[in-house]
Amino acid sequence: MNHDRGGPGSRTTLLLALSCATLVAAIYWASHPGRTDFDYFWTAANALIHGDDPYRAVDELGTGYPLFYPLPAVLLLAPLGLLPLALARVAFAWAGTFALSLAAFRYGRGFPAVLFSASYLSALMQGQWSPLLAAGAVVPWLGALWVAKPSLGLALGLGYPSKPAAIGAGLVVVVSFVVMPGWPAAWLHALEATNHVILALQPGGVLLLAALVRWRHPEARLLAAFACVPQTPALYETVPLFLIPRTRWGGYLLAVLSLLATAYMRTVTPLAPDMAIEESLAARWPIMFWSMYVPALVMVLLPAVEERFGPLFRRRPK
């Protein structure tokens, strides 16, 4: 499948992506970010390359959160486990930004606007996978990374199926069983403590399934599947939604809405320090729903509305 929608040439795209990634990595290094979710992955990767159990290593951190990710995620990050934590954080930020920039400039449409969004900034600062995963929808071989986070990977795979992605993911899984045959039991045990939810079961979330009326289109399948897979309803998970806008103005709108949602949550509805993560996510779901998911749904459905009712509003020739 050809995902190139008329963006810059391949050489220009590569240079733009390298420039964005290098600039972001330099800023990230200079800002000296504190602890992020990536620290769990680094701890697990460091344990794996030293022959230890990554699930036990994360438990021993004493944070109260086990390693919710399958071993393929740890295996993919194993090289970063060789680096000091501070440098590994920067390398992960560089890789996510490079992959996302490369995909965004290649895909065109509204996708490049993701680089100016609070969704991407949240993923960057919290050390999350979503920039890398979203890039796999455009760059097929990056789709192999979907196996690192099977929930979002499944949604992206249903929207943008790819043979290279499936083959790459399969190879990573096979290697993971060679490295640690018993990892599924440890992973499933960790998932017992998960706070992930299904968006379609949240207030109003069932409306997102209306995207299925255009199920032949990848952005519609993506949104409907996104609503049905377990996930954390946080801003950093919304990076793949920027694949949906058909125009750059739609992408800009979604980016602005993400920034407004962040400003609103930080100023009007700040969370209490002692609030549990489950309570905080539930409190912020209505903001996320109306600012990100409903606009994405409208963008999916607009072409169908135009096809159905457009002729009623067109001027007929005299």
The percent of residues above 70 in pLDDT, for the chain, comes to 90
Enter the pTM of the model. 0.90
pLDDT band at 62 (very low <50, low <70, confident <90, very high): confident
pLDDT band at 275 (very low <50, low <70, confident <90, very high): low
Mean pLDDT score, 237-264: 96
Mean pLDDT score, 155-161: 97
Q: Please give the structure tokens belonging to residue 6.
A: 């008329």
Please list, residue by residue across 262-299, b when 16 or more beta carbons sit within 10 angstroms of its beta carbon and e when fewer do.
Answer: beebeeeeeeeeeeeeeeebbebbebbbebbbebbbeb
pLDDT of amino acid 63: 81
Q: Where are the beta strands (DSSP E) in the chain?
A: 197-198, 230-231
- Is the pLDDT score of 265 beyond 50? yes
- Is the pLDDT score of 45 beyond 60? yes
Half-sphere exposure in the Cβ direction for 234 (13 Å, CA): 18
Q: What is the pLDDT of residues 192-210, one digit of tens each?
A: 888 889 999 999 999 999 9
pLDDT band at 187 (very low <50, low <70, confident <90, very high): very high
Q: What is the pLDDT of residues 287-312, one digit of tens each?
A: 999 999 999 999 999 876 645 555 54
- Is the pLDDT score of 316 beyond 50? yes
- Is the pLDDT score of 4 beyond 50? no
pLDDT of amino acid 272: 66
Q: Please give the structure tokens belonging to residue 227.
A: 């609503």
